[in-house]
Structure 1
Amino acid sequence: MNKNALKNIIYSIVLLLVVFLVYLYRQNQPVPAQPENADTKMVFSGTTMGTSYRIVYLDEQRRDLQDGIDSLLTVFNQSLSTYIPDSEISRFNASDTLVFELPYFYPVLSVSKEVFEATGGAFDPTVGPLVNAWGFGPEGAERKDSLGIQQLLQRVGFDKVQFDQRAVIKLRPDLYLDFSAIAKGYGVDVVADYLAAQGIANYLVEIGGELAAKGTNDAGEIWKVGITQPDEEGQANELYSIVALDNKGMATSGNYRNFYEQDGQKLSHTISPFTGYPVVHGLLSATVLANDCMTADAYATAMMVLGTEASISLQQQVPGLEIFLIYNDEQGNLRSFASEGLKPFLSFPQQNQ
């Protein structure tokens, strides 16, 4: 055998040995695990309560639950929407008493009373006549004189409502209930409960900017949501801060977009149930985190009535609340405040740092 042939045989043996060793090495390496939530993410959106909703959840069975959720929200609105003439709340507003037929009226009354009392009346679902009078209801602007405001204030006060688990009655016949400041948050909770009942452990539910999150997203991380810039002309994608929402409900209320000008004066849509007039203070946006979104929604509304300092004091008195406030200081500079329990879950885009 010549030298070249011998070299070729040796080379082939070495090559086979190398290939075999590589094969053995790969066989003994751990197979990269597929993400636990790979291909389980479900996303859909729709409309409800005069706004939009978006729902994201993880489901190994990849079930499309939108039809069930839409049906649920239809029944929910049949209870609490003032825009449906024969809804439970519309029938109550047109009469003196309502015996509950659906399961949604009593819980929202109960939480409303709790927040009404905790905020000293800053959250009040009977403030609707004043909201309408100032032009933020369906009939448009109708500026009232001071005498008209005082007359309307006599119709306001959640303590003029009495209820139990069976029925609700008015203590004043012209009293008007409107849950628009709490209903979206409650709707978020109703949808979240529905998902949990279907065995969904990881989800993010959003209705009109109010949110509830549980578990983690498809990357195995806590769900992250944004708080937008409090600018009159700000766009929804202009973020001021980002919150990691760890099994909480979150709601944001603000005055910076819903307003109009009359006689050179800017009138915000937040009407004080104490004075009957639009609030005037530096608080631009109140974000509240709570164990459920209905509670967060109600407190966010109350804080926009109370203003910055009173809202900080309120958060310190109510267990389970975390807040993020954006406000103008006395010099007109944009500032923010985060409660201590929220700070570890809060981050800021580069431009706001």
Structure 2
Amino acid sequence: MAESIRRRRAICIMAAAAGLPLLGVSSAARATAQPLVWTGQALGASATIILNIEDRDKATRLIRHVVAEVSRLEDVFSLYRPHSALSELNRTGALAAPPPELVALLEASRGCYDATGGLFDPTVQPLFALYARHFSRPKADPGGPSRKALNTTLALVGLDGVLANRDRVVFTRPGMALTLNGIAQGYITDRIVELLRIEGISSSLVNMGEDRAIGAKPDGSGWRIGLALTEMAGEPNAVVTIIDRAVATSSAAGFHFDAYGHFGHILHPRLGAMPERFARMTVVASDAVTADGLSTAFSLMTEDEIRGHARMRPDITVDLVALGGGSTRFGHSP
């Protein structure tokens, strides 16, 4: 089940690398007129970097640096590495001298929590564990956990119960736990973009579970990002074009706890599992952390509520597909 649970995103970059060679680090010296395309993994998701750079030795060094940085950040944020900072915090309820990246991401999470009226809440991990335990049992009640179990678990949810500064992170209620799966991929994407910019890269597309562009393509055109309802889709159902922007997608098809698909992975922090409203929710923003967090929270809102948030946020575009199949795009043009 762990492999399925960690795949919480359905992202497609179908149009971005069309016709480009896929080059690993060992073959970076080939095709010098072409961009270098690296593929790998970040937090259990497929990862891709498209680098427009002539110096292949520098490109190889940068990719190695990226791989090392991603691994280092997974040691902070991963729920599936028992030695990670997040795993230790969830086991013990407190973490002294936390990694600065964990503190920074909790601050970003709090900003998204406040902006969405608490709908983005990384303390839903106890709810996730409740549904996972329930539906892993033989002959589990298809109606889900009991009301008593749900209410007991909901009492553990709330970012107001997490105190964090550079010296310590503490849960104020025993039994609390965090998942950063709804925002950590955006954070890692932003971190890799920062790393590449420091090295002078001016044209690149970075995907560490979410997409972010550095500049435009060498011909001045934008990067085309294909949006699909599932990762297995053969063709995108929409395309956005970005320059110096980020794209994040949440999908109802990402993961379901039950065989009938009634209990999805995007959990309401005050209600638990709720009927899904959208087949795909995509947000384009100036950075991947913002796009990632909002795509999760917007999945729990009505379309009118999302539209209201977009009016107040000229920095974002929303592209969504309702469960019935109708698509809508509104907000600032990417």
Alignment deviations for residues 193-250 of structure 1 (CA, whole Å, 9 cap, x no partner):
1111111011101123x1000212243311111111x36xx73332111111121111
1: CA distance, partners of 2:174 / 2:316: 35
Structure number with larger C-alpha Rg: 1
The corresponding residue for 1:219 is 219
How far does residue 48 in structure 1 lie from its aligned partner after superposition?
2.4
The corresponding residue for 1:35 is none
Q: Partner amino acid for 1:341? A: H
The corresponding residue for 1:268 is 264
Task: Give the number of aligned pairs.
Answer: 295
CA contact (8 A) 2:277 2:300 kept: no
Alignment deviations for residues 167-208 of structure 1 (CA, whole Å, 9 cap, x no partner):
222111211011011111111111111111111011101123
2: CA distance, partners of 1:235 / 1:56: 21
Is 2:73 the partner of 1:76? yes
Q: Point out the structure with the larger strand share.
A: 1
Written as runs of structure 1 = structure 2, the 5 A alignment for 1:108-147 is 108-135=105-132, 140=136, 143-147=144-148
The corresponding residue for 2:25 is none
How far does residue 106 in structure 1 lie from its aligned partner after superposition?
1.3
The corresponding residue for 2:23 is none
State TM-score, norm by structure 2: 0.82
2: CA distance, partners of 1:167 / 1:291: 30
State TM-score, norm by structure 1: 0.78
2: CA distance, partners of 1:104 / 1:268: 29
1: CA distance, partners of 2:163 / 2:297: 21
Secondary structure in structure 2 of the residue aligned to 1:287 = strand
How far does residue 155 in structure 1 lie from its aligned partner after superposition?
0.5
CA contact (8 A) 2:279 2:321 kept: yes
1: CA distance, partners of 2:322 / 2:91: 39
CA contact (8 A) 2:314 2:332 kept: no
Written as runs of structure 1 = structure 2, the 5 A alignment for 1:265-344 is 266-276=262-272, 278-328=273-323, 332=324, 334-342=325-333
2: CA distance, partners of 1:87 / 1:203: 29
How far does residue 319 in structure 1 lie from its aligned partner after superposition?
4.4
1: CA distance, partners of 2:203 / 2:100: 25
2: CA distance, partners of 1:340 / 1:86: 41
Q: Which stretch shifts more, 215-224 or 105-114?
A: 215-224
Is 2:251 the partner of 1:254? yes
The structure with higher relative contact order (CA 8 Å, sep 6+) is: 2
Q: Give % identity.
A: 26
2: CA distance, partners of 1:225 / 1:265: 28
Sort the Cα spacing of 1:156 and 1:140 in 2 relative to 1 into closer, same or farther, 3 A.
same
Q: Partner amino acid for 1:243? A: V
Written as runs of structure 1 = structure 2, the 5 A alignment for 1:52-67 is 52-62=46-56, 63-64=59-60, 65-67=62-64
How far does residue 146 in structure 1 lie from its aligned partner after superposition?
0.8
The corresponding residue for 1:148 is 149
How far does residue 82 in structure 1 lie from its aligned partner after superposition?
1.5
Sort the Cα spacing of 1:266 and 1:99 in 2 relative to 1 into closer, same or farther, 3 A.
same
- Any gaps of 5 or more consecutive residues in structure 2? 1-31
- Any gaps of 5 or more consecutive residues in structure 1? 1-37, 346-353
The corresponding residue for 1:44 is 38
CA contact (8 A) 1:281 1:307 kept: no
The corresponding residue for 1:85 is 82
How far does residue 266 in structure 1 lie from its aligned partner after superposition?
2.2
Q: Partner amino acid for 1:254? A: S
